Structure 1
């Protein structure tokens, strides 16, 4: 059976508050009843002690004292009787019998000098009364006692009136509890419904939804967690969308880049086969086919390298290498490409400086970054520097090229990213995998890489490798 959360909350809140009010009402009623009876017995005890004290102090006026107290107490609906050690009544303002009916326990208490108090007595007297028995001693000898009685109807009337007040208070408390529990239930249910609607929106693909949150209770904390979750999902979806867009661009680039060299190679092979290429042009055609096949291999290798690095399938063979020699080799390999764009390569490193790295992978890092600098620099200077600190070897590759905006700096490490997205087979490279591979290889070496750049002011890559 399905029970709505509203009714569950309402029932739980109302039950707790109602139970609390009822328990407090019962305790208050019991307490007030005890107070009323205690006040009555204390009053009877006080009057009884006063009568006995006056009787001890009087010599021949005991009758007068008893009568005077009788008038006073009669106005307060209190009767009293004086009796001797044989329970015979000596003087009484109310009892018509000649003897006081006391049980053995009560007699023993009186003879031991103890008072006896009974809240309600229904059998031994003509009406239901509260009574007090006080012992009467003279010269330390028990000679009787005094019995004071008061009808319980007066006490009951007071208790009944107080119970009415308690009942009215209880009813008011129950109504207030119902109202309060209803308000609390509505509040909690609304908060839960907001979370439910937000969760439904997220399941429908809307990751921008947020719910009001607080630190007040668990629902508020749940709302905080929900908002954090949606923020992360929104960020992830943006990244996924961006990656998907780059993947589509990558696939378009792959189709174009692979189609072009394959078409060229196919055309050359068919030309040679059909003897459509003259003997003078054959060497040039074969060189073109060789260049295009190398280009295909390079493109395939870039993708394979990236996937191997991501899958942790690259094993580094670290060794101590002379950094100046590595930078000079990089400059020598790329000198022709730099000259084509009228760039100058400068190596600035001291002779004894060394670096702990895998030779092949470090050369791959240096060539990728330097090629990147050459591609985005024309009629400029590209400087390869080496330095060290106590714990690190520092490599810097700086150019005076076109530079980058801060937004571009954040994206250059992303797979498929190209600084110029409109390009395919342009001087700026092919698939945008080079810097992604560079970063992964630096991380595999336990190092860090950072970029400083300003639009129109050039770019500086700084690599830090632990010694």
Structure 2
């Protein structure tokens, strides 16, 4: 069953007001009755004590004292009766109440000198009365007592009057609650409807929608969270579209890369098979097949490596390694490739510089970055630098190549991305996976990597790895 928000607000406010009124009315009624009863009891006890003291002094005859008090107390609607130990009335004025009857327990209390105080319904004026019986004790012996009664006059009238004003207050509170519920519900429902409409737009694929937010209440915070969520979705959508574009480009590049070597390999094999290649050119053809086969193997290996790293299937075996020796291995492997582009590889590191890493993966990281530097450098130099700073090893690979545009720097770590997509035939890192693998491997070593580049002046890759 659907219940509108305004009705929920109104029912909530009315329930609180009604419950509060009932509790307040009951508590106030009980408080007033108790207070009136206590005051009347104290008044009756005071009169009884005064009568007993005057009778004890004996300045006048007992009948005169009783008559004097009778005229005063009867005018105040207080009845009293003095009785002896046999409960015989001593009043010269007739007692207008019921016969004096005490229970065995009450009689025992009087004989022990304990007063009796209670509410008692005399069915006179159809209202409750306060009854007080005070014992007279002379030399430790019960010789009589005094019984006083008085209606709790005005208490119920006072309570009824107060309840009437409370009722009027409740009516005013209900009116205010209704207006407040209506106003708040309109405000909140409008805000919720905006969120609902925005949610519908998001479900339809619009990730640019925004709703007014604030830190005033939970709805405002919800709106702020909604805006953040939409922004993330928008970024994710853009990233997905970018990834999809790169994937398409990658597939186009791979198709091109596969077609060329496969065509070459197929042609050479057919030529060898049918003796269409002269003997003098057979060795060159075999080398060409070998070269193109290695290119295909690199493509497959790079994809396998990336997927293994992303799925945490690569286990690192870390050890202390001399960085200078690793640099020398990199130089030996890539010197010929660097020479093809008239580049020089320069090592700048002391023998004492150590790095705590997985040897094979460290070599893979440095080879990928160095190949990337060779790819975009011509007639220049690639410097391999290393030093230690406390418990961290710093590695820099700096070239004097064409550099990277500022807007391209963050993109180079993306899978399938190539900073210069026109160089698809370049034999080093041509598939756009090398730097993505590098970043994943550095992070697996709990290290950091970043790039500093200025277009036209070169690029520097900076790696920081913890040393134990």
Shorter-normalised TM-score: what interval? 0.7 to 0.9
Q: 1:82 aligns to what SS in structure 2? A: strand
The structure-2 alpha-carbon separation of the partners of 1:185 and 1:72, relative to structure 1 and needing over 3 Å to count, comes to: farther
Assess if the C-alpha contact under 8 Å between 1:398 and 1:458 holds in 2: yes
Q: 1:306 to 1:146 in 2, by over 3 A?
A: closer
Q: Give CA deviations for 1:41-67 in whole Å, capped at 9, x if unaligned.
A: 322222232233233334235555444
| Residue 160 (structure 1) aligns with | 160
Aligned ranges for residues 184-203 of structure 1 at < 5 Å?
A: 199-203=199-203
1:72 equivalent in structure 2: 72
For 2:102, the equivalent position in structure 1 comes to: 103
Cα distance in structure 1, aligned partners of 2:99 and 2:327: 126
Partner in structure 2 of residue 251 of structure 1 = 251
Query: 1:202: Cα distance to partner?
Result: 4.2
Measure the CA separation in 2 of the matches of 1:327 and 1:156. Answer: 103
Q: Does 2:213 align with 1:242?
A: no
Q: Find the counterpart in structure 2 of residue 31 from structure 1.
A: 31
Give the superposition deviation at 1:415: 0.9
Give me the CA root mean square deviation: 4.4
- Distance in 1 (CA, whole Å) between partners of 2:376 and 2:162 is 96
Q: Does 1:460 align with 2:460?
A: yes
Residue 27 of structure 1 and its aligned partner are, at CA, apart by 1.7
Per-residue deviation, 1:159: 4.0
SS at match of 1:452: strand
Counterpart for residue 451 of structure 2: 451
| SS of aligned partner of 1:404 | coil
Alpha-carbon contact 2:117-2:133 (below 8 Å) kept: yes
Q: Is the 8 A contact 1:14 1:181 kept in 2?
A: no
Q: Cα deviation per residue 1:319-369 (whole Å; 9 max; x = unaligned)?
A: 776644543443344344434444332223345766666665444333321
How far the C-alpha of 1:416 sits from its partner, in A, is 1.3
- How far residue 264 of structure 1 moved from its aligned partner, in angstroms, is 5.2
Alpha-carbon separation, structure 1, partners of 2:163 and 2:14: 23
Gaps of 5+ in 2: none
Counting only pairs closer than 5 Å after superposition, residues 68-217 of structure 1 correspond to structure 2 as 68-93=68-93, 95=95, 100-105=99-104, 106-122=106-122, 129-137=129-137, 142-152=142-152, 154-172=154-172, 199-207=199-207, 209=210, 212=213, 214=215
Is the Cα–Cα contact under 8 Å of residues 79 and 93 in structure 1 kept in the other structure? no
Q: How big is the shift at 1:262?
A: 4.1
Verify the 8 A CA contact 2:401 2:457 in the aligned structure 1.
yes
CA contact (8 A) 2:295 2:427 kept: no
1:343 aligned residue: 343
Q: String of CA shifts for 1:137-170, please: whole Å, max 9, x gaps.
A: 5565544333333345544434433443444445
| Partner residue, 2:60 | 60
Task: For structure 1, list consecutive stretches of 5 or more residues without a partner in the other structure.
Answer: none
Give distance in 1, aligned partners of 2:326 and 2:237: 42
Worse overlay, 17-26 or 142-151: 142-151
Query: Which is worse superposed, 169-178 or 409-418?
Result: 169-178
- The answer to whether the 8 Å contact 2:21/2:166 transfers is no
Note the C-alpha offset of 1:26.
0.9
SS at match of 2:345: strand
Distance 1:335 1:103, change over 3 A: closer
Equivalent residue pairs, number: 464
Mean alpha-carbon deviation: is it higher for 450-459 or for 265-274?
265-274
Partners of 2:79 and 2:149 within 8 A in 1: yes
Instruction: Tell me the secondary structure at the aligned position of residue 89 of structure 1.
Output: coil
Aligned pairs (5 A) from 1:302-451: 302-314=302-314, 323-350=323-350, 361-388=361-388, 391=391, 394-421=394-421, 423-425=423-425, 430-444=430-444, 447-451=447-451
Contact 1:396–1:463 (8 Å) recurs in 2? yes
**Correspondence for 2:46:** 46
- Contact 1:80–1:94 under 8 Å retained in 2: no
| Partner Cα separation in structure 2 for residue 322 and residue 108 of structure 1 | 108
Contact 2:453 2:460 in 1 (8 A): yes
**How far 1:306 sits from its partner (Å)?**
2.4
Distance 1:146 1:343, change over 3 A: same
Distance 1:212 1:161 in 2: 50
Cα gap change, 1:50 to 1:195, in 2 (>3 Å): farther
Contact 1:344 1:382 in 2 (8 A): yes
Distance 2:107 2:357 in 1: 110
Structure 1 residues 267-286: aligned runs within 5 Å: none
Q: Compared with structure 1, are the counterparts of its residues 68 and 181 closer, same or farther at alpha carbon in structure 2 (3 Å cutoff)?
A: farther
- Paired with 1:348 and 1:340, the residues of 2 have a C-alpha distance of 22
Q: 1:74 to 1:168 in 2, by over 3 A?
A: farther
